[in-house]
Structure 1
Amino acid sequence: MATASVELLVDGFNRVQESVHDVLEGLGEEQLTARLDQDANPIGWLVWHLTRVQDDHIAEVAGREQAWTEAGYHQDFGLPYHTADHGYGHSTAQVGSFGGVTAKQLADYHDAVHARTVEYLRTLSDADYQRIVDDSWDPPVTLAVRLVSVLAEDHQHVGQAAYVRGILERR
């Protein structure tokens, strides 16, 4: 039986997944790549980025390959980024080069990452959360901090995507 902390994290990631589906529903490439100004992040890039970060960080703590490469999403998406790239630190030009990806591709990739995340979370006990997963920081990052960090970033970026969608719908 999963602990209460696992169930809280699963609920949080479930909410991200629901929001990703809501924000992507019915969008075409034009809406996925529309920028509110020349430096703004478009919906498609935001969803790709939040999913890439989740995939990268959860795969690392779980000790497994990312869905991005293992399942071939990096090839299917055909983006002009390095395979290990997840968007952190992208320039406005790099963000602007995002395209050619459908809402279905983004949702499918997010669903695959979500399933892996939930599968991993369900293996955890409360004692696992204190494991140091990154000692390059002071203080070192525990598994608990990493998981909450990913969840917080996911919620922030899906909220940004929903905001962009709302503005685009009013234009």
Structure 2
Amino acid sequence: MHKLAIAFTLLASPALATGLQIEVAGEANGTVTIDLYEDIAPRHVAQITALAEEGAYDGVVFHRVIEGFMAQTGDVQFGKLEGGDIGRAGMGGSDRPDLPAEFSDERFLRGVVGMARSQSPDSANSQFFIMFDAGEFLNGQYTVVGQVTDGMDVVDAIKRGRGNNGAVIGQPDVMQSVTVIE
């Protein structure tokens, strides 16, 4: 093959896709695979993958789960099943800086993964949520970081919380391990 053709082939090749493989345990048991959108939310994807590679997400619970809406997890500060402060899960983050919003035209549909944040659009850190159903009112308000590509049945089985805030009572489901895949 000609050198120019080889160079063009290399340039035209798509970048390696980054994703997560999450082993879930509790009422839900199984594997959830997520395709991360590094082209849409590069800073958020970089932070999530760095935390996953460090093992920061291993043992973190799904602390806020609302029927027909979403399952939230990722509080690496307070949300650890062992050694965490589950009563405060959802109030913490990581020791990394908060991220500026990376809003896009991606819609919040079933299986979409978004970054959780406080009132400030630039406050996402480590927490994320997976949509059970469409939540179009979130469009343009929260950063979309990916999409579940396999294991939505596992997501659907995650133990639901109670009340308006969806706080999980008793033993929450947990991300046993979170692995970065390419």
Q: TM-score, normalised by structure 2?
A: 0.23
Select the structure that is richer in helix.
1
Task: With a CA cutoff of 8 Å and minimum separation of 6, indicate the structure with the bigger relative contact order.
Answer: 1
Select the structure that is richer in strand.
2
Task: Tell which structure's C-alpha radius of gyration is larger.
Answer: 2
Q: TM-score, normalised by structure 1?
A: 0.24
